[in-house]
Amino acid sequence: MTSQQHFKALQLKARHQVYTLLSGRNLSRLHGEGYDLSELREYQPGDDVRKINWIITAKLGKPYVKELHANRELSVVVCALMSGSLYFGEGNAKQETIVQLASALGYAAYQNGDLFTGLGYTERKRIVTPPTKQLFAIESFSKQLFDQNVLNSTMAIDEVTKDIFSRIRQPSLIILLGDFLEEIDLSLLAQKHEIVAIIVREREEEHPRRLGEIILKDPQHAKEVSTYFGQRSIRRYLGRLKEHDDGLIAHFSRYDIRYTKILSDEEVIEKLVRLFS
């Protein structure tokens, strides 16, 4: 299967699953709650009595009604954080999972009539799909994520969050996709937006096995180290990973950030359905 065929297969799978399982689900906690309060004004003959605000009426001694306006359309921003750490073992399955997620979320936004913005960050490039409801633009964004070669690259995560904050001005649902193996501060974004974090990992990152004598390669800095990876190394690695993830989850909890973890061999859509249920 060629690279182009492989991408099409990932995209078609995401599209089919979204249309059958995720269609019609509100991605945001705020979306679909009906109407926002526009103003209070005195009751006039002919007004619907159901609109009377009885608390204000009692306080002021004359009837007041509440005028409502329909909620604005939901702004969905899908942001992929991509560096060399997406390469693990012999491939970049984490990157492919991010592509599936971006495709599925884009299709869901399209189905719900929401405004979609795509952002992708690598060390060498910033991918931007301006706010759109066009299916072609959403699919083009996923293709650009698929085509990025991020091996031997890092990411300035603080600069990324600052760029997102300055770029997305309308309060939005921002869905961050990445492996979150670096420390990240989302407090700035959470002040203005609803944030969802989707952590993408390889199964062996979470459950490593003994490898014995091995040459380990750093996919971010192109360095190699010859070592013995046995039970003691596994315990030390898992201890550091747990400490990192505990801090990450505490940060999410502090700023009311929903999150889920998806392993690259899991079905993406099942995790999304649970996350947005």
Element holding 251 (H helix, E strand): helix 231-254
**63 lies in some domain:** yes
Tally of domains within the chain: 2
Based on the domain organization, do 113 and 47 belong to the same domain? no
**168 lies in some domain:** yes
Based on the domain organization, do 79 and 59 belong to the same domain? no
Based on the domain organization, do 60 and 191 belong to the same domain? no
**160 lies in some domain:** yes
Based on the domain organization, do 49 and 89 belong to the same domain? no
Sign of CA dihedral 203, 186, 82, 73: positive
pLDDT, tens digit (0-9, with 9 covering 90-100), for 38-89: 556 787 777 777 778 777 778 778 887 776 544 557 899 999 999 999 998 7
pLDDT, tens digit (0-9, with 9 covering 90-100), for 225-239: 898 889 999 999 999
pTM: predicted TM-score of the whole model, two decimal places: 0.82
Based on the domain organization, do 194 and 61 belong to the same domain? no
Based on the domain organization, do 59 and 147 belong to the same domain? no
> Which domain CATH number covers 227?
3.40.50
Give start and end residues of each alpha helix (H) in 92-226.
93-111, 135-147, 157-167, 187-190, 203-206
pLDDT at 63: 86
Based on the domain organization, do 250 and 173 belong to the same domain? yes
**4 lies in some domain:** no
Do residues 105 and 112 touch, judged by C-beta distance below 8 A? no
> Tokens in use for 55?
């608390």
Q: Is the pLDDT of residue 36 over 70?
A: no
Distance CA 115, CA 102 (A): 14
How large is the angle between the packed helices 135-147 and 3-17, nearest 10 degrees?
Answer: 130
Domain carrying residue 50: 35-70
pLDDT at 207: 94
pLDDT, tens digit (0-9, with 9 covering 90-100), for 79-131: 999 999 999 877 899 999 999 999 999 999 998 889 999 999 999 899 999 99
pLDDT at 26: 63
> Tokens in use for 165?
């904050």
Distance CA 256, CA 253 (A): 5
Q: Is the pLDDT of residue 251 over 80?
A: yes
Give the pLDDT mean for 244-259. Answer: 97
Based on the domain organization, do 45 and 170 belong to the same domain? no
pLDDT at 111: 87
| Selection from 263, 260, 255, 264 nearest residue 273 by Cα | 260
